[in-house]
Structure 1
Amino acid sequence: MFWIIATVVLFIVALTFLLFRIEDLSHLDKETYSVRATSPSAENQNVLERLKEMRRAGIGLRGKARLMALRKHLDSLSDGLELTSEFRRCDNPRGEWVIAPGCDTRRRILYIHGGAWAAGSSRSHRAITNRLSHIANAAVFAVDYRLMPEHRFMDGVRDCREAYTWLVDNGPEGAGEASFILVAGDSAGGSHTLGLLAWIRDSGLRQANGAVAFSPSTDLTLSAPSNRNNISTDPMLGPVFGGLSKIPKPVIWWATLAAFRISPTSPVASPLLGNLADLPPILIQASTSEMLLDNARRYAAKANAAGSQVELHTWSDMVHVWQIFTPVLPEAEEAFADVEAFIKKIEAVNRESEMTHT
């Protein structure tokens, strides 16, 4: 009996290392990046209170009921804000146009919301999409990709791909080629954003002019140091995912494979593990205190080493995806000013390139 058990254990171990070939990326942790070393504003305390409200919304609930409560709470985040954009529903692809007054609708942004691939919507992230439409002078399409667990992870990926290909040739008023296109997303949506750029490149499609990722999840293998080291300092992700630190990583990999129906080592689920060459300019924003900090740092380091242009800008002690608390949080306004400067920079480079080739 002992030998049977031992054989089974050895087989599982061997199969684990065969299926999940984890690349050692610890050398990427040596890269250093500048940090906006300012103390959090007084308004940050209000943000922390709102996070407590979100956690209280799920107290006493389990399973689907808890998930639905989280989704409802996220959808209420923008309630009460004075948003001056027009919000126009679209059914095919599913999502919402966000159109600032007077913006150039030939300029377009595909926004992919976060929410751990199981929550969030175009409505929950209106504070972000409204702000993006204004600073970029562009029509934003916030895609409502299919969520887990009702749908498979790859269903959501396909929805984002279809939304991008459609957006290149369609605007709020109908058919018409985009003059400028940006892809942006946060957290889980930031992962979809980065994965989408690689898919666009490999598919030979018109590439986006640039991309913005707020606190992106880039590696589902959870091998980055901050995934464990920053649990206690991340008031949003720490209470929800901190317990994973007590579970052996191979167990997490198998659980991810079962839930996502895709290996956590797949570049589709973990963009960091893919080919990061020949990508458009990317801006990544992250906080020094969040669990996904090193996910962002590693992605930027690997992509820059591969010849792509990735800027990583970090803020001190901000909550995960603090940009969603615009305009009440000054640091969120700083982040969008940073995005606006990034957009102007890539536009200047594009104009210079066009002049060189004429």
Structure 2
Amino acid sequence: MSETQLQDHRRSKTEIIKLPSEERQREAALRERFASFWATATGDRRAVYDAFISGSPLTSDVTLEAVDEAGVRGFFIHPQQAEPKRAILYLHGGGYVLGSAKAYRGFVSQIVSRTKIPALVIDYPLAPEASLPAAPDAARTASLFLIAKGFDRIAIVGDSAGGGLTLVTLAGLIGKPAGPAPVAGVVFSPWVDLSFTGASMTDPDIVDPLLGHDYLQDCARKVVGAHSPSDPLASPLFGDLKGLPPLLIQVGTDERLLDDSKQYADRAAKAGVSVELQIFEGMHHVFQLDVAHLETSRNALDRAARFLRDAFDRG
């Protein structure tokens, strides 16, 4: 191993989390539930997606505060006791065309309950009504909003398209004098390459029950607008990753975005970023949402919470 390879290895850590046999059975039952839901769902596509995401339960130890000021709209989710000046900015998934802060309140409360750190989950402009750079602009505005509110230790967390948006936002904040740099980024199944170079996008051995290649291609066309799919605003995989804070990436083996996570972790390590890649065997896209059904989902969120707590304590 060369000196450069050794340094990359020290900066990165990849862990494969095995799936117990009893959890395989629960995963299979959950996939049947997914198939039934999507086969019978009718009505507005955004309302249906929000109903699906809202299945992640709201914890009983948080309070909700609606936010609509300074160009930021969404919800603050507060733990019962919070340490001062710490906050999480959460950017939701949905392929840049679906999703809302309201639908994600339950899921984000799971993170808040575990970390004891308040989180702001925002609405950002969706495609096709709004294309790039609308979503990154909204995310940056939200991060500056938190700084203006007095938070000086901030982490950014997101899933799927929101995971990609998280990484775009972190890169956009590097070296900017607007406030303190984020202490960490955590992304669940991030979509980081809208030019579709990852082999898992078309791998016939992957059976992703929630996300298809054709669907993602349609979403990409709608959000990129006049930009190239390989523009770092669309695909953070191709951006300058030097200077990013510590990153945690979680992904399942049974999803189209598996190679997005692998490729990004590799590029981040080569850029000198401390990055942990956790690959969960047999898991589907953003399985962390399914805390009510899977021990693996709860385990993954516990791991993410420990990573965030450590990052805030160091920051």
Instruction: Answer yes or no: is 1:295 the counterpart of 2:260.
Output: yes
Instruction: Provide the secondary structure at the position in 2 that maps to 1:104.
Output: coil
Instruction: Specify which of 293, 312, 334 is matched with residue 299 of structure 2.
Output: 334
Give the equivalent residue in structure 2 for 1:196: 169
1:258 and 1:143 map into 2 onto residues whose CA distance is: 18
Instruction: Answer yes or no: is 1:39 the counterpart of 2:20.
Output: yes
Give the equivalent residue in structure 1 for 2:45: 67
Give the equivalent residue in structure 2 for 1:314: 279
Q: Cα distance, 1:232 vs. partner?
A: 4.2
Q: Give the letter aligned to residue 285 of structure 2.
A: H
Q: 1:86 to 1:223 in 2, by over 3 A?
A: same
1:203 and 1:179 map into 2 onto residues whose CA distance is: 14
Q: 1:158 to 1:57 in 2, by over 3 A?
A: farther
Instruction: Provide the secondary structure at the position in 2 that maps to 1:33.
Output: strand
Q: Cα distance, 1:86 vs. partner?
A: 0.9
Whether the aligned pair in 2 keeps the contact of 1:106 and 1:138 (CA below 8 Å) is no
Whether the aligned pair in 1 keeps the contact of 2:158 and 2:188 (CA below 8 Å) is yes
2:109 and 2:14 map into 1 onto residues whose CA distance is: 29
2:37 and 2:273 map into 1 onto residues whose CA distance is: 38
Report percent identity of matched pairs: 29
After superposition, give the CA deviation of every residue in 1:128-160 in whole Å (9 maximum; x if it has no partner).
Answer: 210111222211000111111222232222111
Q: Give the letter aligned to residue 321 of structure 1.
A: V
Which is richer in helix?
A: 1
Give the equivalent residue in structure 1 for 2:135: 156
Q: 1:287 to 1:182 in 2, by over 3 A?
A: same
Instruction: Provide the secondary structure at the position in 1 that maps to 2:243.
Output: coil
Q: Cα distance, 1:343 vs. partner?
A: 2.1
- Structure 1's unaligned 5+ residue stretches are 1-27, 60-64, 171-176, 245-251, 351-358
Instruction: Provide the secondary structure at the position in 1 that maps to 2:130.
Output: coil
- Structure 2's unaligned 5+ residue stretches are 1-7
Q: How many positions carry a matched residue from both structures?
A: 299
Greater C-alpha Rg: 1
Mapping 1:104-253, distance limit 5 Å: 104-170=83-149, 177-205=150-178, 206-229=180-203, 232-238=206-212, 241-242=213-214
Q: Which runs of structure 1 show a deviation greater than 4 angstroms over 4 or more consecutive aligned residues?
A: none
Give the equivalent residue in structure 2 for 1:85: 62
Relative contact order, higher structure (CA 8 A, sep 6+): 2
Give the equivalent residue in structure 1 for 2:3: none
Instruction: Answer yes or no: is 1:48 the counterpart of 2:31.
Output: yes
Instruction: Provide the secondary structure at the position in 2 that maps to 1:261.
Output: coil
Whether the aligned pair in 2 keeps the contact of 1:95 and 1:142 (CA below 8 Å) is yes
Q: Cα distance, 1:102 vs. partner?
A: 1.5
Whether the aligned pair in 2 keeps the contact of 1:36 and 1:316 (CA below 8 Å) is yes
Q: 1:339 to 1:78 in 2, by over 3 A?
A: closer
Give the equivalent residue in structure 2 for 1:249: none
1:299 and 1:204 map into 2 onto residues whose CA distance is: 26
1:77 and 1:107 map into 2 onto residues whose CA distance is: 27
Q: 1:335 to 1:126 in 2, by over 3 A?
A: same
Instruction: Provide the secondary structure at the position in 1 that maps to 2:118.
Output: strand
Q: 1:77 to 1:231 in 2, by over 3 A?
A: farther
1:257 and 1:66 map into 2 onto residues whose CA distance is: 18
Instruction: Specify which of 256, 260, 271 is matched with residue 236 of structure 2.
Output: 271
Whether the aligned pair in 1 keeps the contact of 2:200 and 2:206 (CA below 8 Å) is no
Whether the aligned pair in 1 keeps the contact of 2:262 and 2:277 (CA below 8 Å) is yes
Whether the aligned pair in 1 keeps the contact of 2:56 and 2:291 (CA below 8 Å) is no
2:169 and 2:139 map into 1 onto residues whose CA distance is: 8
1:187 and 1:333 map into 2 onto residues whose CA distance is: 18
Q: Cα distance, 1:78 vs. partner?
A: 3.6
TM-score, normalising length from structure 2? Answer: 0.86
1:143 and 1:243 map into 2 onto residues whose CA distance is: 24
Instruction: Provide the secondary structure at the position in 1 that maps to 2:174.
Output: helix
1:260 and 1:45 map into 2 onto residues whose CA distance is: 38
Q: Give the letter aligned to residue 176 of structure 2.
A: S
